[in-house]
Amino acid sequence: MSEDAERIEQAAERVVAAKEYLDVEAKTSAANELARKLAAPDVWDDPARGQRLNTQLSRLNDSLHRYAGLVRQLDDVVAMQELLGDEDDAEMARELPAKLSALEAELDRVELANLLSGEFDANDAVATINSGAGGVDARDWAEMLLRMYLRWAEREGLKAEVDEIHYGEEAGISNAVVTVKGSNVYGLLSAERGVHRLVRMSPFDQAHRRHTAFASFDVIPMLPEDQEADLEIDPKDLRIDIYRSSGPGGQSVNTTDSAVRITHLPTGLAAACQNERSQLQNKAVAMRILKARLAELARREREEKLEELRGERQGIDFGSQIRSYVLAPYRMVKDHRTDVEVGNVDAVLDGALGPFIEAELRRRAGRRLEQR
């Protein structure tokens, strides 16, 4: 059997397995039922219910379309292999390995998504980046991390919006809050939660000495719209502050006072948004983030499982990092949980985080199996 034939056989086995773990038959039935409900003439009399059903159907269809795409890709390579057995086509012979590699890459992505089976893994997410020990280098590092995750989201076809950002006086940012929307966002980004360490020759040191800086990345799941609607907050428990957002060096980036911060007085939790055009839009986004934070707090108090949802909280300094990004004296990114190492630091900082996320998700899946 040729190498291509072996790869096609293995890919076919993986596609069959995907049909099982994606639960295609049950999802097809559920999607048909949701489509029937959405076709009812009165479904949008209750807009919240209509939107909820539409979101559920969209997520089911995403999964079903992904499986259908696997089947199409497999059919294509099988057909090409059969044609090559009957005729000598040099161009097709060159094309087959590329199409087979594309199928294998998509199978890798689908199998990775299958590792995301937690209660909140499919949710959108709110990510927070904070600078830690390291002074101006840490603030610059926090801004580099922000760019890295925005590029990752772009690479993955996800929607990311910076809701709140606070700039350092000299350079960088002290913290930023980002909403990321798309398939399995929380599950994927939960693998990035922790302290990230940078080692480099500091551009802020006149002697150009090597410096170490730290920044943290945290993430919580956004509430689905139906749960968000069910979470009621007494308006008397809220303080709403309106302000003008500022850019680097304290420069105003808005000509009106449209940025909004909402504080939940009983818990002290707060959320802000400054990126929308109007005060009303900023208030709506801030309220969504606040509800997500309140829901997370309630889950922790109810379940008493801080490690499960957020991991152990550590200082943003030496000894607490999950990953090191070394730019000098050598260049290497190493994850200390999985021992995954990548030499192309520039690619990682440009959002190529797949190897790290997948390895951490597989490590977690292995730990869950050991605990059973």
Rounded to an integer, the average pLDDT of 4-23 is 91
Q: Where does the pLDDT of residue 275 fall: very low under 50, low under 70, confident under 90, or very high at 90 and above?
A: confident
Partners of residue 148 on adjacent β-strands: none
What burial class does residue 278 get, using C-beta atoms within 10 Å of its C-beta: 0-12 exposed, 13-18 middle, 19+ buried?
exposed
Percent of the chain at pLDDT > 70 equals: 89
Q: Give 37-69 pLDDT, tens digit per residue.
A: 999 999 999 988 898 899 889 989 988 999 999
Q: 172-204 as b/e, with b when 16 or more CB fall inside 10 Å?
A: bbbbbbbbbeebbbbbbbbbbbbbbbbbbebee
Rounded to an integer, the average pLDDT of 7-28 is 92
* Of residues 208, 321, 220, 307, the one with CA closest to residue 269: 220
Q: Residue 356: what pLDDT?
A: 97
Q: Residue 315: what pLDDT?
A: 60
Q: 309-323 as b/e, with b when 16 or more CB fall inside 10 Å?
A: bbeeeeebbeebbbb
In the predicted model, is pLDDT for residue 255 greater than 60?
A: no
Residue 262 and residue 175: Cα distance in Å, rounded? Answer: 17
Q: Residue 265: what pLDDT?
A: 93
Residue 45 and residue 30: Cα distance in Å, rounded? Answer: 22
Q: Where does the pLDDT of residue 246 fall: very low under 50, low under 70, confident under 90, or very high at 90 and above?
A: low
In the predicted model, is pLDDT for residue 313 greater than 60?
A: no
Helix residue ranges, H only, 115-236: 135-155, 185-190, 225-230
Q: Where does the pLDDT of residue 250 fall: very low under 50, low under 70, confident under 90, or very high at 90 and above?
A: low
Question: Read out DSSP for 185-206?
Answer: HHHHHHTT-EEEEEEEE-TT-T
Q: Residue 339: what pLDDT?
A: 96
Q: Residue 266: what pLDDT?
A: 93
What residue type is assigned to position 87 of the chain?
A: E
Q: Among 210-214, 222-226, 245-249, 310-314, which range has the highest average pLDDT?
A: 210-214
Least confident of 46-60, 182-196, 217-231, 330-344: 217-231
Q: Where does the pLDDT of residue 223 fall: very low under 50, low under 70, confident under 90, or very high at 90 and above?
A: confident
Partners of residue 194 on adjacent β-strands: 217
Q: Give 137-175 pLDDT, tens digit per residue.
A: 999 999 999 999 999 999 999 999 999 999 988 899 999
Token output for 306: 């801080």
What residue ranges define each of the domains in the chain, with the CATH number in brackets?
A: 3-114 (1.20.58.410), 119-372 (3.30.70.1660)
Q: Residue 306: what pLDDT?
A: 45
Least confident of 5-19, 139-153, 248-262: 248-262
Task: Tell me the pairing of strands 159-167 and 210-221.
Answer: unpaired
pTM of this prediction?
0.71
Q: Among 12-21, 94-103, 307-316, 340-349, which range has the highest average pLDDT?
A: 340-349
What residue type is assigned to position 260 of the chain?
A: V
Q: Give 316-329 pLDDT, tens digit per residue.
A: 656 679 999 999 99
Q: Residue 148: what pLDDT?
A: 98
Q: Give 19-41 pLDDT, tens digit per residue.
A: 988 889 999 999 999 999 999 99
Q: Residue 19: what pLDDT?
A: 92
